[in-house]
C-alpha cells in the first residue's frame, strides 16, 4: 500500500510527480524493518522529501486499493513455491525454526489475507508509524539542508506508546511440502545467535558465507565467478547431479539463520544432503580451512561491501537500518577492521556454536526421498 492515495494526493498524481522528477520509488519489508525509498536528481530533493513524508504520514487506505493489493497477493501466494523455491524454503525455515515474532511469515497465508481489511491495516499503521520508530536517511544531501526540509514536515508527529519488542525463541524443526516436480529442494539451517548487535560475529558469519559460497551448477555471473568457493570446488564440481548448492544467511537484530540450500533430482537428494552435512561439519573442525581460503574470502567480502556502497540507494538504506539497530551509523572502517581481525579460530568457533543449536530443515518436491529430520539431526550430535 506504499505510495497509494494520501490525504493530499491521488495515486495517479503520486506516480506523475515521481515520473516528472525522473525519480524511482519503492518499498520493502523484512521481519524487523520497513523501508520507503525515493531516488531522484539532487535538484528535486525538496519535492522528493515532501512526497515521501506525505506517503508515510497521510495514507488513507482506500477500500478498492486494498482489494487490488490483496488480489495480487493471493496470486503471489499461490505461485510462491513454484516461482522461487529458495525464498519459499527460507520462509518455511523461519516458520518452523522459531516460536514467536521471527516465526511469523512474511508471505501471508490465504486465510490471513481473507481476514485483512482497512481497519486492521490502519491499526498496524498507527501503532508502528510513530516518531520514535522512524528514521529519515539520505545520501548525496547536505545534512543541514535535509533538516531544513524535513523538520516542518515532522515537527508534530507524535511518539507512540511504549512497545515491548516481541520475543523470538529458536527451536529448530522440520517442514516438508510434497509437490510433483522434476527437482527437489532442501535447506538445512542453524541459529546464528546474537544477530547484527554482535557485529564482530555478524562480520565473521559474512566471511564464512563467502568462503563456503556455491551457487548454480553453471556460474550465473559468467565463467569463473565463485568457482574458488568451497562448495563449488568440493560439491558442484564433483557431482553433476547437483543443480545448485549454496551457503546462505538471514540475520536479524538478535538472531539469525545460517545454512545450505541445495537442489537436485530425487534420485540423488540423499547424497546431496549428506554432502551438505559433511560441508557444515568440516568448517566446524579445526585445521580444515586454510589461510589462503580465509584471505580470499576476506578480500571477496571487502570487495562486495565496497561495491555495494557505491550505490546511493544502498547507502541511504544502510544509514537508516543501522540507526534503527545500533542507534548510530558505524563507519565502514569499523566493519573492515572487524573483517581484517578475523582468524581461522573465529570461523571454527562460530561454526561450532551454530551447529550446536537444533537443526531446522525444509524440503520442497519429492520429500519422500529426503532423509528424515531425526537421521540428519543425529549427524550433528555425533561425537567428533
Strands (E), 147-205: 168-170, 173-178, 184-191
The mean predicted confidence, pLDDT, of the chain is 92
Given the C-alpha cell 477500500, which residue does it identify?
Answer: 63
In the chain, what is the straight-line distance between the N-terminal and C-terminal CA atoms, in Å?
52
Q: Do domains 11-155 and 172-378 have the same CATH topology?
A: yes
pLDDT at 136 over 80: yes
Residue 329 — very low, low, confident or very high, per pLDDT cuts 50/70/90? very high
Backbone angles phi, psi at 130, to 5 degrees: -120, 160
pTM score of the predicted model = 0.91
| Model confidence at 225: pLDDT above 80 | no
Q: Nearest Cα to 262, choosing from 275, 244, 280? A: 244
> What whole-number percentage of the chain has pLDDT above 90?
83
* For the chain, counts of helices (H) and of strands (E): 15, 10
Percentage of residues in the chain with pLDDT exceeding 70? 96
Q: Does the structure show a pLDDT above 90 at 146? A: yes
Burial of 168 (0-12, 13-18, 19+ CB in 10 A): buried
Tell me, what DSSP letter sits at residue 264?
E
For the cut 90, the answer to whether the pLDDT of residue 82 exceeds it is: no
At 382 the pLDDT is 58
Residues 6+ apart with CB under 8 A from 214: 226, 229, 230, 231, 232, 235, 236, 244, 245, 246, 247, 260
Q: What share of the chain is helix, strand, coil (3-state, %, to 5)?
A: 50, 15, 30
Structural class in CATH, domain 11-155: alpha beta
> For residue 315, how many other CB atoms are within 10 A of its CB?
18
Q: Does residue 224 have a pLDDT over 90?
A: no
Whole-number pLDDT of residue 162: 78
* Secondary structure of residue 231 in the 3-state scheme: helix
| Residue 24 in this model has a pLDDT that exceeds 60 | yes
Q: What is the pLDDT of residue 227?
A: 65
Domain ranges of the chain: 11-155, 172-378
Q: Where are the beta strands (DSSP E) in the chain?
A: 24-29, 34-39, 98-100, 168-170, 173-178, 184-191, 214-216, 242-251, 256-264, 360-365
pLDDT in tens, 183-212: 999 999 999 999 999 999 999 999 999 999
Q: Higher-confidence residue: 220 or 153?
A: 153
pLDDT band (50, 70, 90) for residue 37: very high
For 295, residues 6+ apart whose C-beta sits below 8 A from its C-beta are: none
Q: What is the pLDDT, as a whole number, of residue 202? A: 95
Q: Which residues of 123-141 are buried (b: 16+ CB within 10 A; e: fewer)?
A: eeeeeeeeeeebebbbeeb
Q: Which CATH superfamily is domain 172-378 in?
A: Metalloenzyme, LuxS/M16 peptidase-like (3.30.830.10)
Q: Which residue has the cell 546511493?
A: 312
**Average of pLDDT values for 223-242?**
81
Rounded distance, CA 257 to CA 73, Å?
Answer: 26
Q: Identify which has the larger pLDDT, 383 or 253.
A: 253
pLDDT at residue number 218: 58
**What band does 217 get if pLDDT is binned at 50, 70 and 90?**
low
Amino acid at each position: 500500500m506504499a505510495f497509494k492515495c494520501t490525504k493530499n494526493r491521488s495515486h495517479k498524481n503520486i506516480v506523475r510527480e515521481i515520473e516528472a522528477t525522473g525519480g524511482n520509488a519503492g518499498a520493502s519489508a523484512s521481519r524487523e524493518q520497513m523501508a520507503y525509498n525515493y531516488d531522484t536528481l539532487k535538484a528535486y530533493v525538496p519535492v522528493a522529501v515532501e512526497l515521501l513524508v506525505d506517503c508515510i504520514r497521510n495514507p488513507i487506505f482506500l477500500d478498492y486499493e486494498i482489494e487490488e493489493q490483496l488480489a495480487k497477493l493471493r496470486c503471489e501466494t499461490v505461485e510462491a513455491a513454484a516461482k522461487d523455491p529458495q525464498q519459499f524454503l527460507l520462509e518455511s525455515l523461519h516458520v518452523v525454526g522459531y516460536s514467536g515474532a521471527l516465526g511469523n511469515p512474511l508471505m501471508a497465508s490465504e486465510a490471513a489475507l481473507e481476514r485483512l481489511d482497512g481497519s486492521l491495516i490502519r491499526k498496524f499503521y498507527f501503532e508502528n508509524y510513530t516518531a520514535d520508530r522512524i528514521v529519515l536517511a539520505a545520501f548525496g544531501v547536505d545534512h543541514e539542508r535535509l533538516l531544513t526540509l524535513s523538520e516542518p514536515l515532522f515537527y508534530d508527529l507524535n511518539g507512540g506508546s511504549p512497545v515491548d519488542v516481541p520475543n523470538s525463541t529458536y527451536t529448530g524443526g522440520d517442514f516438508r511440502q510434497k509437490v510433483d516436480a522434476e527437482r527437489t529442494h532442501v535447506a538445512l539451517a542453524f541459529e546464528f545467535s546474537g544477530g547484527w548487535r554482535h557485529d564482530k560475529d555478524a562480520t565473521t558469519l559474512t566471511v564464512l558465507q563467502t568462503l563456503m559460497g556455491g551457487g548454480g551448477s553453471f556460474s550465473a555471473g559468467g565463467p569463473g565467478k565463485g568457482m574458488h568457493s568451497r562448495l563449488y570446488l568440493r560439491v558442484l564440481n564433483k557431482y553433476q547431479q547437483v543443480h545448485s548448492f549454496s551457503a546462505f544467511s538471514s540475520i536479524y537484530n538478535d538472531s539469525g539463520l545460517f545454512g545450505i540450500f541445495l537442489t537436485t533430482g530425487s534420485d540423488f537428494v540423499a547424497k546431496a544432503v549428506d554432502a551438505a552435512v559433511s560441508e557444515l561439519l568440516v568448517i566446524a573442525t579445526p585445521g580444515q580451512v586454510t589461510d589462503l581460503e580465509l584471505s580470499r574470502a576476506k578480500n571477496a567480502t571487502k570487495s562486495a561491501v565496497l561495491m555495494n556502497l557505491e550505490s546511493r540507494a544502498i547507502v541511504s538504506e544502510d544509514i537508516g537500518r543501522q540507526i534503527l539497530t545500533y542507534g548510530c551509523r558505524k563507519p565502514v572502517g569499523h566493519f573492515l577492521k572487524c573483517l581484517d581481525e578475523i582468524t581461522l579460530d573465529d570461523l571454527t568457533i562460530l561454526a561450532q556454536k551454530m551447529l550446536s543449536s537444533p537443526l531446522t530443515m525444509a524440503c520442497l518436491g519429492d520429500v519422500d526421498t529426503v532423509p528424515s529430520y531425526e537421521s540428519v539431526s543425529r549427524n550433528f550430535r555425533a561425537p567428533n
